Structure 1
């Protein structure tokens, strides 16, 4: 597969097996800077396995993921050392978990959660770190007077916004999101989605968003992958896939949502 010069992430033949069971199989696609790709499908379709392989939380059995670094070089992320991958996750990438507790340190303050990420990229000035933390809390609609409160004192929606601030403070180029609005009340989901859409657009972020909610996919993404039994069965512009689904499974997904 020829990789175009401006491609940020190139996935080719990605396969992950759990014994005899397929997590995902022969997944290939490209992601461009500033593009949001939604990965949708029912439970067990392989979308979370794919996300975990892309973010190197788990390693695939075969296939490659090539990432364009800030200096323009291209690296197969699975050929990197573990230390290099960890640095990438702390700096150029972010991961927003469905359960915010998985992406936060619950026993330190909100400001420290954001500040830790800045320290990972070399910032050591306490005043600058605190100022940046307060600025980012404001950008995700958390009041400055909550900077010293621990996440355990926050609601679920506030924890998710804090996790987003923690991920975005280092100006990453690529964000992975695993059901970012899952488990939240509908009204909280709506505000969070508006916030995410604004931040992704303003910052020019590329993102891979795993969701079972087609409304989330429509609101956030430009392109969509539909997965079933570990394989991609449809791939295209989000509006086209949702308004004119071609695969019978996608048609069933869309019609089932419309009938709810």
Structure 2
């Protein structure tokens, strides 16, 4: 599929369906033997909205993220995604090739550890350019130019385009992973603890970058984090999880400033107010 075909044919339809959910999750459950990973989780995600899934370690938030991003098959429940042509598709009824194409183009996934989301033995430019090739771009000059543009957009100097990620710092690797994901202009990005393991100063710089990109590009984002400060800075709406179940949900400011569930109150009271 040519890159122009991937975008141009459906942009008008996508704009017309902006008042409909981009992602609809209904009753997602994942069990591991007699242990619950997540249970009966339902929500809608709208175009341009950022949803944070928060909770302590073992709360089920990463299991839920993997289920809704097709990285882990749920035990039951459905995940429907509104495609660029306006049609709603159950991602677990798609052919494997169709789902993989979606993950390489219209979706992005930012891993906590950038090593999991990058090819460490090829150049930074090649890491970014791979996604363009997935949607049919074969012009070397165009690919290299787009890679340089995106490196600069995530604050990596253009002269690093031929360097391998293993020569980058942790923060630079994470920014490279973000560029790799965003180069195809996806409409939905999943993020798993995107600031985890980074120094505080690097976290702050990365959060500022993410906020700007999300706003500029109108991305819909599902972000998993244990850090409520990250959730406040990035998200419009929040889901709080404990033992695989949703304990509380609502607008981020409302949940953090006026938590109603005792567990949420405990989470909020255990951190410095931001």
- Interval of TM-score (by shorter of Structure 1 and Structure 2): over 0.9
Partner secondary structure for residue 45 of structure 1: coil
CA shift, 1:173, in A, is 0.1
Partner secondary structure for residue 121 of structure 2: coil
Distance 2:118 2:192 in 1: 15
Is 1:114 paired with 2:118?
no
1:147 is aligned, of 161, 168, 181, to 161
Partner secondary structure for residue 112 of structure 2: coil
Unaligned stretches of 5+ residues in structure 2: 1-17
2:74 is aligned, of 43, 60, 64, to 60
CA shift, 1:17, in A, is 0.3
Is 1:220 paired with 2:231?
no
The aligned counterpart of 2:261 is 247
Superposed CA RMSD in Å reads: 1.4
Spell out, residue by residue over 1:16-71, the C-alpha distance to the aligned partner (whole angstroms, 9 max, x if none).
00010000000000000000000000000000000000111110010000100000
Q: Tell me the TM-score normalised to structure 2 length.
A: 0.93
CA shift, 1:196, in A, is 0.3
Is 1:26 paired with 2:40?
yes
CA shift, 1:258, in A, is 2.7
1:176 is aligned, of 187, 190, 195, to 190
2:179 is aligned, of 152, 165, 172, to 165
Distance 1:258 1:149 in 2: 39
Question: Structure 1 segments of 4 or more deviating over 4 A?
Answer: none
Is 1:82 paired with 2:96?
yes
2:83 is aligned, of 62, 69, 82, to 69
The aligned counterpart of 2:62 is 48
The aligned counterpart of 2:23 is 9
Unaligned stretches of 5+ residues in structure 1: none
Distance 2:92 2:192 in 1: 21
Partner secondary structure for residue 30 of structure 1: strand
CA shift, 1:85, in A, is 0.8
Q: Tell me the TM-score normalised to structure 1 length.
A: 0.98
Partner secondary structure for residue 42 of structure 1: coil
Spell out, residue by residue over 1:89-111, the C-alpha distance to the aligned partner (whole angstroms, 9 max, x if none).
00000000000000000000000
The aligned counterpart of 1:96 is 110
The aligned counterpart of 1:127 is 141
Partner secondary structure for residue 225 of structure 1: strand
Q: How many residues align?
A: 258
2:220 is aligned, of 180, 192, 206, to 206
Is 1:188 paired with 2:236?
no
